[in-house]
Structure 1
Amino acid sequence: MQQFQVPQGHFSLQRYPVDANPSLRAWDAADELILKHVDEQLTHPDPGIWIYNDSFGALSVALNNYSVQAISDSYLAHRSIDNNYCDNHLVTDSLTVKSSIETLEGTPDIVLIKVPKTLALLEDQLCRLRPFLTAQTQVIGAAMVRHIHSSTLSLFERIIGPTKTSLATKKARLIFSTPDMEIKPSKSPYPNSYTLEGTKHQIINHANVFSRQKLDIGTRLFLQHLPVSATAQSIIDLGCGNGIVGLIASERNPSAQLKFIDESYMAVASAKQNFENAFNGQHKATFVVDNCLDKTDSDSADLILNNPPFHQQQAIGDHIALQMFRQSHRVLRQKGELWVIGNRHLGYHKRLKQIFGNCTRVASNSKFVILKTTKL
């Protein structure tokens, strides 16, 4: 548990899921900067505050004395906020936590936006936010300097209104955007779609889905080698994204029950729509927003298909992949298989051998490798 000292108070915070690396904090300098600004400039006696992309709850916890609506596409962020409120013995009566695709309500006095990694997600969030703003609403963005680009500021300028930035402090910067009520609210360009190559499937993608415009090369290789199995009656697409892998697995194994899992609400919504469009209720599937396989029963799956991420927010590492591999071992039935696609340089075969005791290469190219391991 790390100690977070800001003008609003002293709080204990931790990332979710808890990581063994103590150098990874549950906040950054941009969180500190925006909270300092709010403390110095706050004039409204009881402001309604909307907070976007509060990765681990630092902003929501620090501003717990106000009416807070926290909006994020990340299940892990939602859990972080809940856990850190609980750890600090805070009352949640004035806290509302919503996903990026839920309907917004009310009129905020202050909007705090941690600039997300994905520019498309920022565009979608600003478009959804715009109709709820008044001329008096304060819209303040925050990010580390390296994550603020001219394209970032252009979105604020085009969708919200006149935009300027603060001076950099500890490599962080604020964005101030004044609502221009003459700007007509624009509809978000998301979700968008494309036709999956070699098929008639129209693939729908919400803004925070990886590879929204076309099939990425790693998934293309994975699709070419997905197994057909008479014994695989329960298949999980773990880290499903838009659900293409599970969709094609269901097409090749029509009697199987599919389960799509991702920590992104937009990813799971995309996967659900794509599956329903493809099979119109003729194939069986469930859709779960979760931290990897936390909610999945042990010894319940015959086949798990996995393209693990190698980063959480801006932090790069293999801790999420390792969690997926370890939980897959728990969830698979005896003789069940885990198939993994990943960049060759990540060395997943070593980790899989440590956990499962075996690992076989199914296929590879110059950049990616498909690995298969069996629960003995």
Structure 2
Amino acid sequence: MSEILTLESLDLRLRRFPETQQSELIAWDAADELLMLNALPEVRGRLLIINDHFGALGCAAARLNPIWVNDSFVAHQALKQNLDLNALPRPAHCLADLDQLTEPVDQVWIKLPRNLRYLEHLLDWLNGHLPQGTPVVIAARLKEMPSTLKALTEHYLDEIQPSRIRKKARLLSGVTSNRRASEPLVLTWQAPATEFLLENHPNTFAGQKLDVAAHLMLTHIPHGHRRIIDLGCGNGILALAAAKANPDAHILAVDESWHGVTSCRANLARVLPAERFEVHWDDCLTEVAPASADLVLCNPPFHQQQAVTDHIAWQMFRDAKRALAKGGRLRVIGNRHLGYHIKLNRLFGKVETVAANAKFVILDAIK
């Protein structure tokens, strides 16, 4: 795996966070390079960088003291790691959400998010808070640019100009307008076959629907537990179900997405007293005390940004084992082909199948 990015006047050492054994995965891509080559020399005034996955752009522009915004707690850790590797100064403002921005901005870079509803939120916010005509550059690899991107950007931005393609990546340059979203971008909806009213902020996983794995997991929430963790909580649907099934339990919900924990906090606060729950923005269970839980519920992701990988699931499983008291259970759901039973057997030694269908399996790993 290459760690060195050499590009004209730039010479950076960059690592993914957390580190992975998949040798083909690096901490930057061709869209990052294109921004560094084409947009970095044109920066005038205060730069705002949004959705920089592993801090490559933050490192390249570090001498400009940019404002750096990312929904992902892990991305914040990656930026810190890579700034330290290159002995570069930390930006004065590293924010989780644009709503935390209080400084003026003269130019914006956006790495295209996987979730276009989140991109719409970003563009809508920029149009509502920055002067009309503020330059905005969106960077992405061609394979990540869906057919709906053109209409979305044209709705919010003026004077859009696509760059020339380099290494199968492209920039879309435009300027802010005064056009805003016609409907609320924070969604409120009733989860099917439940009593739960859910609020989803734009970058929360699954949007305005219940993903298939969560739907199955909801029918297999155990009873009789007092200290429960929802690991990778998203909007908190499993935490809500666990609280209902275990009325004496304290619930800890954890996610690395700021919009996820914001949604979850609102959803839990709607039905639970404040003393019954906590919501943490964190990298898995890094800040959770050992042997502090009886039950961990987990529906792990199998990708980080655009890369398919199992290292996040591995970290979740290891952290869950550390957080569980002796005899505690990790209840996890995953696609059958991912082979979680093998990983969990290796880690816990005792694994039971709770339920399965043609696509998914629910497993209990017992400490």
Decide which moves more: 31-40 or 268-277. Answer: 31-40
Map 1:1-376; keep pairs closer than 5 Å: 2-42=3-43, 44=44, 47-92=45-90, 94-100=91-97, 102-180=99-177, 183-186=178-181, 189-229=184-224, 232-281=225-274, 284-375=276-367
Paired residue secondary structure (1:150):
coil
Per the normalisation by structure 2, the TM-score is: 0.95
In the alignment, the residues of structure 1 paired with residue 209 and residue 159 of structure 2 have an alpha-carbon distance, to the nearest angstrom, of 33
Give the letter aligned to residue 168 of structure 1: I
Pairwise CA distance, 1:327: 1.6
Deviations 1:106-155 (A, max 9, x none): 33222111000011110111111112333452211100001113311222
Pairwise CA distance, 1:90: 1.5
Aligned residues: 366
In the alignment, the residues of structure 1 paired with residue 271 and residue 9 of structure 2 have an alpha-carbon distance, to the nearest angstrom, of 50
CA contact (8 A) 1:161 1:177 kept: yes
Measured at CA, do residues 172 and 184 of structure 1 come closer, stay the same or move farther in structure 2, by a change above 3 Å? closer
Decide which moves more: 184-193 or 12-21. Answer: 184-193
CA contact (8 A) 2:204 2:259 kept: yes
CA contact (8 A) 1:107 1:132 kept: no
In the alignment, the residues of structure 2 paired with residue 357 and residue 124 of structure 1 have an alpha-carbon distance, to the nearest angstrom, of 45
Paired residue secondary structure (2:213):
helix
Decide which moves more: 79-88 or 234-243. Answer: 79-88
Deviations 1:187-231 (A, max 9, x none): 7732101112333321000111122212222111111011011xx
In the alignment, the residues of structure 2 paired with residue 191 and residue 122 of structure 1 have an alpha-carbon distance, to the nearest angstrom, of 13
Give the letter aligned to residue 69 of structure 1: I
Q: Where in structure 2 are there 5+ consecutive unaligned residues?
A: none
Decide which moves more: 156-165 or 183-192. Answer: 183-192
In the alignment, the residues of structure 1 paired with residue 92 and residue 343 of structure 2 have an alpha-carbon distance, to the nearest angstrom, of 40
Pairwise CA distance, 1:29: 0.6
Q: Where in structure 1 are there 5+ consecutive unaligned residues?
A: none
Per the normalisation by structure 1, the TM-score is: 0.93
In the alignment, the residues of structure 2 paired with residue 220 and residue 185 of structure 1 have an alpha-carbon distance, to the nearest angstrom, of 34
CA contact (8 A) 2:31 2:141 kept: yes
Give the letter aligned to residue 174 of structure 1: L
Measured at CA, do residues 188 and 130 of structure 1 come closer, stay the same or move farther in structure 2, by a change above 3 Å? farther
Paired residue secondary structure (1:366):
coil
Deviations 1:14-52 (A, max 9, x none): 11112222321110010001110024434x3xx200011
Paired residue secondary structure (1:65):
helix
Pairwise CA distance, 1:280: 4.3
CA contact (8 A) 2:239 2:251 kept: yes
CA contact (8 A) 1:8 1:39 kept: no
Measured at CA, do residues 363 and 346 of structure 1 come closer, stay the same or move farther in structure 2, by a change above 3 Å? same
Pairwise CA distance, 1:184: 3.5
CA contact (8 A) 2:98 2:125 kept: no
Deviations 1:299-355 (A, max 9, x none): 111100000000000010111101111121111110000000111111111111111
CA-based RMSD: 1.7
CA contact (8 A) 2:124 2:179 kept: no
